[in-house]
Amino acid sequence: MKGSTFRVRGGSFLYEENTSQHFFTPEDLTDEHKMIQKTAAQFIKKEVEPYREEIENQEFTKVVELLQKAGDLGLLAHSVPEQYGGLGLDKISKGLVGEMVGRAGSYGVAHSNHTCIATLPITYFGTLQQKKKYLPKLANGEFIGAYCLTEPNAGSDALAAQTTAKLNVEGTHYVLNGTKIYITNAAFSDTFIVYAKINGVKFTAFIVEKHFPGFSLGPEEKKMGIKGSSTRSVILDDCLVPKENLLGEVGKGHVIALNVLNLGRFNLGSACVGGAKYALELAIGYTKQRYQFGKPISEFNATKEKIALMAARIFASESIQYRTAGLLEYELGNLNHSEDFTDIAEKLMEYATECAICKVYGSETLDQVSDESLQLHGGAGFIKDYKIEQVYRDSRINRIFEGTNEINRLLLPTHLFKKVVKGEIALESIVDTSLKNLSKCHPTYEGEFSIEKEAIAAIRNVFLVCIGTVYKEYNKQLFEQQETLMKLSNIAIELFAAESSLARALKNDHPLTNLLAKINVEKAVLQTEFLARQLINEAITTEARLPLVKLISNHLQTLDLVITSKEKREIADAQIEAEQYISS
């Protein structure tokens, strides 16, 4: 992939049709990918699963021991360059490891936090000396890392941080004062990426070690889930940080914080896919064993519909993840040797839209699947002896991690509007074309998926007409219309999920794959009509409202998308027979 000359601009799926044959899918995995996948899967099954209870009881010495074993296997080193003791693997491998550890609940949180947002700031923005000092230890598990951004009065608004840094009189150390809260891995971490304002103004990143004078931790938080990943406050009371531990550039901490979080969101999406697959596996296992009215409840058609819809949702989320992994690898694959922080930041930001969707769609997939799985367990699902109880509790944090889903939804249209302001996108012209397209018959496509291709084009046209309409209606006040922005984002997310699913079916023709894709396209069309009607009804108060609503509804309703109960049962039967999620 690194040698490819094909490039897709970030967020371009919103306003132009993409070429599906370039999408990376799970079916494109190489032997090397499968090897790292197998290694991670076996590690979780043989080393982590047997200690699920100890981890849940917060025996952090066991968590650290497991992290170090993961380090011995190279599972902490996938994103660390080879010259610093890592494996230097691609973003597909990163996603694969993230997915495999995602089924391990709180251990997976500790593992992913360490390999992503606690290590990548040094990987991409560290000096040569910092990389040599820290990366080998982070790669092999000798050091565990944490990431400290959130404060009592600064959450989503990270730049409102009140933690300060001041260079001492000797000019040797920065003196940090402040408190960071909800810090994952705090109890057993050795390094902490900390953000503070130099002289109360210049937002800057630092590498802080646990033994630095003035560094301490608050008590362990009592959480609903992910109990095996320590969560504490980090207290900096005249904490002395060597001058050489300033990370990146003075006043440019936001460049590190916000851009590394893009990869964190991608990684979180991968973990959620893994967790969702595990939740479905638990549901299938239970329903095959639980008999009612003389037969296993897996044979009831109502059960089968739930299983089919869970599998389809996982298929869409999985397709999104691998598509985004391919894009990220193209953009970031050769950055390990770069020292151009501006170039690094721009490349990390390129697919911010896609990474946000990975996080939002993935976390909501896990929530939906774990909820339905628990429901299929009946009363047993509420009992701690059944694993789904913990999966359900652990899943909830993911919609909050790495920027809440609400914040991520608000970011999606913002990224597009920034390109409009810069003149990179001729929005008015694109919207006019989309409006004309809605007034015409659907474009004619060939092949088995002709109607689904028409549907993707229709969703894109509706999105663009909606965004053009509200942009014209609100102008500079648009960013205050958060309800509108979220509905726009939801249409964009449905578009990306449907297109990613369809592209995968087009590339890897298989009866089961095709059915899974078709379900997701049908769902996206139904959701788009619902969201568009809501959005226009709320935004337009003039007589132009009703004709536009009718235009959109008529255009979408003429799409002859049909998924029968029989086809859903076929999907469910395949999952039940395999006793796990399968797509082909």
Residues tagged active-site: 402
- Tell me how far apart the alpha carbons of residues 560 and 499 are, in angstroms, rounded to a whole number: 17
CA dihedral 47, 401, 216, 62 (to 10 degrees): -10
Q: Are the CB atoms for 502 and 494 separated by under 8 Å?
A: no
Residue 522 tokens, joined: 């049908």
- Tell me how far apart the alpha carbons of residues 321 and 315 are, in angstroms, rounded to a whole number: 10
The single-letter DSSP state of residue 47 is: I
Q: How far is CA 248 from CA 83, 125, 204, 244, 344, in A?
A: 20, 5, 8, 10, 11
* Identity of residue 373: S
- Tell me how far apart the alpha carbons of residues 71 and 244 are, in angstroms, rounded to a whole number: 27
End-to-end CA distance of the chain: 24
For the four alpha carbons of 412, 319, 399 and 375, in that order, the dihedral sign comes to positive
Compute the C-alpha angle 487/492/494, nearest 5°: 95
- Residue 98: partners with Cβ closer than 8 Å, 6 or more residues away: 112, 115, 116, 267, 268, 270, 271, 274
Reading phi first (left if > 0) and then psi (alpha if -120 to 50, else beta), residue 296 is in beta
The single-letter DSSP state of residue 337 is: T
Report the interhelical angle of 253-289 vs 352-377 (nearest 10°): 30
